[in-house]
Amino acid sequence: MSVRHIIIYPDPILATVAQPVTFPLSHRVTTLISDMAETMYDAPGVGLAAPQVGASLRIAITDTIWRNEENKKTDTRHLQVWINPVFTWKSEQTSIYEEGCLSVPETYEEVERPSAIRLRWQDEQGSTHESEFEGFMATALQHEFDHLDGRLFVDYLSPLKRRMIVKRMKKHFIE
């Protein structure tokens, strides 16, 4: 396992729609998933999508327990792997959370999203699951799966704010 380089906004790969994953997973893909976990815990972050490490595949990982919304650390890791996720329902009710992203360092902005979602996804064995999520988890998953469609949380902000963020990324984070 190794920590991979996290791609910084506004790199075009972050704006690319990622490809579905086929089963059984290749060695390359299982290595990608363990490297993503290593990279997320090293950063540290609550979620990471494959495009953020340069792989245009519909895979995201989260651990919203290890570091929850208040950034309180627990010692136990609860890694969740989401492959080919699809929303089957989103609530009309919305909630606002302050979001950040490993691809947009040191930037936190409020984003409004549906408060609850129903989701279908596959695990690493290719089995399909469906479940409902709400609260911080619902926001985290929507944020991660946006990455798979080439969308970042900054895309919900005003053009002016986005321009300022691009400028800051270019000045401080992109070599």
Residue with tokens 């409004």: 112
Q: Which stretch binds Ni ion (CB under 5 A): 56-64, 65-73, 95-103, 112-120?
A: 95-103
CB-based contact 84:63 (threshold 8 Å):
no
Asked whether the beta carbons of 117 and 132 are under 8 A apart, the reply is yes
* For Ni ion, the closer CB: 40 or 101: 101
Residue closer to Ni ion by CB (options 44, 126) is 44
Q: Does the footprint of Ni ion cover residue 7 (CB under 5 A)?
A: no
> What b/e string do you get for 12-39 counting C-beta neighbours within 10 Å, with b at 16 or more?
ebbeeebeebeeebeeebeebbebbbeb
Only one residue has tokens 């996720």, namely 85
Question: Smallest gap, in angstroms, from Cβ of residue 103 to Ni ion?
Answer: 6
> Residue 85: which of 48, 64, 58, 61 has the closest Cα?
58
How do strand 104-114 and strand 80-90 relate by DSSP bridges? unpaired
- Judged by CB under 5 A, does residue 50 bind Ni ion? no
The answer to the question of residue 148 lying near Ni ion (CB under 5 A) is no
Under rule CB under 5 A, residue 40 binds Ni ion: no
Contact status: 101 vs Ni ion (CB under 5 A): yes
Smallest distance from Ni ion to CB 49, Å: 6
- For Ni ion, the closer CB: 32 or 101: 101
- In this structure, what is the dihedral angle of CA atoms 151, 154, 160, 165, given to the nearest 10 degrees? -120
Asked if 14 touches Ni ion (CB under 5 A), the answer is no
Q: Which is nearer to Ni ion, 101 or 111 (CB)?
A: 101
Q: Are 131 and 119 in contact (CB under 8 A)?
A: yes
Minimum gap (Å) between residue 143 Cβ and Ni ion: 6
Is 144 designated active site?
Answer: yes
24 forms bridges with which residues in the sheet? Answer: none
* Residue 36 within binding range of Ni ion, rule CB under 5 A: no
- Tell me the closest approach of the beta carbon of residue 99 to Ni ion, in angstroms: 8
The binding site for Ni ion (CB under 5 A) comprises 101
Q: Which residues have a catalytic role annotated?
A: 144
